[in-house]
Chains A and B, each alone.
Chain A
Amino acid sequence: MRSGSTTAACAALVRRDLTLVWRRRGDAANPILFALIVVALFPLALGPEPEQLRRIAAGVVFVAILLAGLLALDTLFRSDYEDGSLEQLVLSPHPLSLLLACKIAVHWFTTALPLIIVSPLLGELLHLAEPLRGLLPLALLLATPLLSLLGAVCVALTVGMHRSGMLLALLVLPLYVPVLIFGAGACNAAQAGLPFAAPLLWLGAALVLALVLAPLACAAALRISLS
């Protein structure tokens, strides 16, 4: 008898989650469509003047991507909870926080990364200012993993409840607000010609902290949800 290594377990989990995303690829496009629709509505509502749109572009893209991520958040543990796979994950001999970190990474990779890739297009819809074309994806690259990690803890807490959508939003939004302020703040500062490194560094520091702590909190929260 041999028990598999933790690396093998993580690899198996990543492979399974990627396969599942591929099999449900119709759902995977939802966040992108949502963000595209939100951003496309702004010029229709505000009028097409480039100057006006340029002023709000970075903020609107940030908010659209944040909300799209919120939309996809509930799928992180929902199906695993309902079909009992989550129990098997908890009962495996490997550190639960590490397995969850893998799950969160796959979730970020399949929901947030596509959004970052289309973010230049979203920016273009709003006449995003020239100096922000590189900065916006960079800020998103720092902010979205942070959103995924913080969100995962809240999803883990609420996964045991039916119709937890509203509660999840209430739990998550206060945690998301600082990320939004720093991320969009960096873009706004750059647009105004001010130094923008500080908010980005804050995001990076928070990301490092969340990378270490969020999987642990997530594991503890899931154990509570399953009991």
Chain B
Amino acid sequence: MPPTSHDSGEPRDRPALLEARGLAYARNDEPVFGPLDFTLHPGEVVLVEGDNGAGKTTLLRVLSGLLAPTSGEIRLAGEPLTLARLSPQVALLSHANGLKPELTAIENLRFAAGLLGLRSGLSPTTVLAGVGLAGYDDVPTRKLSAGQKKRVALARVLLAPVGLWLLDEPYANLDRDGIQLVNRLLENHANRGGAALITSHGAYAYTSGTPRRIPLRADANRSRA
């Protein structure tokens, strides 16, 4: 099935960056979340809220394309997401930071830039300074604290030339400054037309403006099973 109006140049109204319709995921016939319907437009930051075990991480993994949804459909910028061809428009920050402990912070970022490309006007050094780690270029990542590692991982997300950020617990391990940093990064990203979906168990929520929320409930899923 060909995507609609794919070849007609710029569509009149910009399609939603992310569109989920009837999205549900079940592990071994036990529903984890869903069905969910939501859209994410450029400039939006949406908070996925839920207790531990409510399926927040699973939702992000499904949206990134790492997991195939049990039912429903995901469209990224109007095109359906398939496992065979993942979208180059998503950056995922997951619990595992995806950093090599033996490599320095800057080496990790250079690799990410090589793999995912580089947002124009940015370089690994400037981005590292931007997350408050100026001067840590040549420190092996294993010597960094958990919060500093999180900052390097955020720098990796920042580098990638993508419109959609999927951030799993971006506030975890961060100090007060770090939390403000995440909020600032999200705000900037939204202002330049990007969108972000972030998870939080509620402790440190996105504070700038009033983000839309997608509530996930662990109990509701279990009782339906």
Chain A residues within 8 Å of B, Cβ to Cβ? 1-4, 8-9, 11-13, 15-16, 19-20, 23-24, 79, 82-85, 87-94, 223, 226-227
Contacts and interface: CB of A to CB of B under 8 A. Distances in A.
A3 B161 CA distance: 6
Contacts of A90: 66, 86
Given A2-B118, A91-B66, A83 B88 contact: no
Interface of B: 64-68, 83, 86-88, 90-92, 94-103, 107, 110-120, 156, 161-162
Contacts of B102: 19-20, 23-24
Contacts of B67: 227
A85 B111 CA distance: 11
A8 B114 contact: yes
Contacts, number: 99
A227 B96 contact: no
A162 B111 CA distance: 28
B118 A91 contact: no
A24 B103 CA distance: 11
A226 B162 CA distance: 22
Nearest to B62: A227
A interface: dominant SS: helix
A84 B115 contact: no
B120 A16 contact: no
B155 to A, nearest CB: 13
B101 A83 contact: yes
Contacts of A91: 64-66, 86, 90-92
A93 B86 contact: yes
Residue of B65, B88, B100, B120 ringed by the most chain A CB atoms within 10 A: B100
B111 A16 contact: yes
A12 B84 CA distance: 23
Contacts of A84: 94-99
Contacts of A23: 102-103
B99 A83 contact: yes
Given A83-B100, A227-B66, A227-B67, A92 B107 contact: no
Contacts of B110: 12
A83 B94 CA distance: 10
Given A3-B88, A20-B102, A20-B103, A9 B114 contact: yes
Residue of A11, A89, A90 ringed by the most chain B CB atoms within 10 A: A90
